[in-house]
Amino acid sequence: METNPPKRRDNKKSLRVKVISLGNAEVGKSCIIKRYCEKRFVPKYLATIGIDYGVTKVQVRDREIKVNIFDMAGHPFFYEVRNEFYKDSQGVLLVYDVGLRESFDALDSWLGEMKQEMGSQANMDSIVFVVCANKVDLTKRRVVDEGEGRLWAESRGFHYFETSAQSGEGINEMFQAFFSSITDMCENGGKRPVSEVSVGFTKEQADTIRRIRNSKDSWDMLGVKPGATREEVNKAYRKLAVLLHPDKCVAPGSEDAFKAVGFLLGLTCSVRHLLLHISSLLKSSSPHSASLCSVCRFWFFLSSFF
Ligand SMILES: Nc1nc2c(ncn2[C@@H]2O[C@H](COP(=O)(O)OP(=O)(O)OP(=O)(O)O)[C@@H](O)[C@H]2O)c(=O)[nH]1
Ligand SMILES: [Mg+2]
């Protein structure tokens, strides 16, 4: 008599993963999670006290994933509570508010806090990061554009998504990509697959473009100290030219940054040129030296517009 054959287990073993959310207070971390897990939006601000914990199950291809979500408080006051929870994370949601530049600028310090707390465990290649540019529904107050956010994220090998917990825009796509990448990583022996992180430009190029975009003055744009010597300035120019040349750099915004540096170089050369002319005018009595070359005439012409 034929006995029942043992049930075939078609599904691969289920996975249990830990993800955390990071970012300044009020950027929308809890609302993003709530929008995904509970399909609702809470307009009233209810600050997370320390940590909120939740579990959800998702299906990625033929695997069941049990996700433990640790939603961290962004307020500095809760640092002592947060720091216990960084370890053993496979995924990190890094959230900023597109209407608040300081929340975007703070992303580096969030990574810093995480690395510090993880200590020797800090192997960032074994963690999937997703950057959420949140509150994109509030278009009028937006101050950090997509190019800038994407550049910061992708140059570090992180995913980038534009999200709105209020309208739901980007939320499901973001979580699907997040969980799918974590699954890929686990199946890849705990290493983030390389193909995902190669974007064709380096972190140095991305950081330089960002610095040039936000530079307060010419020194800042060149990345030298105020009052730097001519040699230091020339060296900085050469470095930027190599780093940002459009033939070599495909990072978004590189062309504008290259043009800005080129304009500054043109201006510096012309001012130097003009000073040479003035000094030769003062020194010489010859009427020929009083005529200006085309570079000087161009800058005189330009200055007439201001
Ligand atoms: N318009 C708009 N408001 C949002 C969005 N996401 C969150 N908010 C609002 O922003 C405020 C803060 O949201 P939370 O999710 O509590 O912020 P949080 O980052 O968790 O803050 P902490 O817990 O203090 O770290 C709330 O009033 C939300 O309603 C969004 O996408 N669009
Ligand atoms: Mg919260």
DSSP-assigned states of every residue in 172-240: HHHHHHHHHHHHHHHHTTTS--HHHH--SS-HHHHHHHHHHHT-SSHHHHHT--TT--HHHHHHHHHHH
Q: How far apart are CA 302 and CA 306, in angstroms?
A: 8
Q: Ligand 2 centre from 115 Cα, in Å?
A: 21
166 Cβ below 6 A of ligand 1: yes
Taken in order 55, 56, 57, 60, the sign of the CA dihedral is negative
Q: Cβ distance 47 to 97 under 8 Å?
A: no
Q: How far apart are CA 57 and CA 37, in angstroms?
A: 10
**Residues in contact with 178: Cβ distance below 8 Å, sequence separation at least 6, in sequence order:** 19, 91, 93, 128, 130, 159
What number of CA atoms fall less than 13 Å from residue 270's CA on the CB side? 18
Smallest CA separation from ligand 1 atom 8, residue: 28
What does DSSP assign to residue 61? T
Q: How far apart are CA 249 and CA 243, in angstroms?
A: 7
75 Cβ below 6 A of ligand 1: yes
* Tokens linked to 101: 């530049």
CA of 72, closest atom in ligand 1: 25
Give per-residue pLDDT as tens, 211-260: 888 888 888 888 888 888 888 888 888 888 888 887 777 777 778 888 77
How do the domains of the chain map onto residue ranges? 15-188, 203-280
CA of 138, closest atom in ligand 1: 1
Amino acid at 263: F
For the domain covering 203-280, report its CATH number. Answer: 1.10.287.110
Position 277 scores a pLDDT of 61
Taken in order 203, 206, 209, 211, the sign of the CA dihedral is negative
Q: Ligand 2 centre from 47 Cα, in Å?
A: 5
What mean pLDDT comes out for the span 176-193?
88
Q: Cβ distance 169 to 137 under 8 Å?
A: yes
Cα-atom radius of gyration of the chain, to the nearest Å? Answer: 26
* Between 276 and 245, the higher pLDDT residue: 245
Give per-residue pLDDT as tens, 120-159: 766 788 999 999 999 999 999 999 999 899 989 988 889 9
What mean pLDDT comes out for the span 179-195?
83
Position 153 scores a pLDDT of 93
Q: Cβ distance 44 to 95 under 8 Å?
A: no
Q: Check pLDDT > 90 for residue 56.
A: yes
Q: How far apart are CA 30 and CA 72, in angstroms?
A: 8
Tally of CB atoms within 10 A around 85: 17
* Tokens linked to 226: 């105020």
What does DSSP assign to residue 152? H
At the topology level, CATH places domain 15-188 in Rossmann fold (3.40.50)
Beta bridge partners of 28: none
Which of 56-65, 106-115, 192-201, 287-296 bottoms out in mean pLDDT, i.e. has the lowest? 287-296
CA of 27, closest atom in ligand 1: 19
- Split at pLDDT 50, 70, 90, the class of 295 is low
| Ligand lying nearest the CA atom of residue 75 | 1
Q: Cβ distance 252 to 147 under 8 Å?
A: yes
Q: Ligand 1 centre from 44 Cα, in Å?
A: 8
Q: What is the helix, strand, coil percentage profile of the chain, to 5?
A: 50, 15, 35
43 Cβ below 6 A of ligand 1: yes
| Ligand lying nearest the CA atom of residue 29 | 1
Q: Ligand 1 centre from 62 Cα, in Å?
A: 34
* Tokens linked to 286: 């010859």
31 Cβ below 6 A of ligand 1: yes
93 Cβ below 6 A of ligand 1: no
Tally of CB atoms within 10 A around 51: 16
Q: Cβ distance 26 to 45 under 8 Å?
A: yes
79 Cβ below 6 A of ligand 1: no
CA of 52, closest atom in ligand 1: 23
CA of 42, closest atom in ligand 1: 29
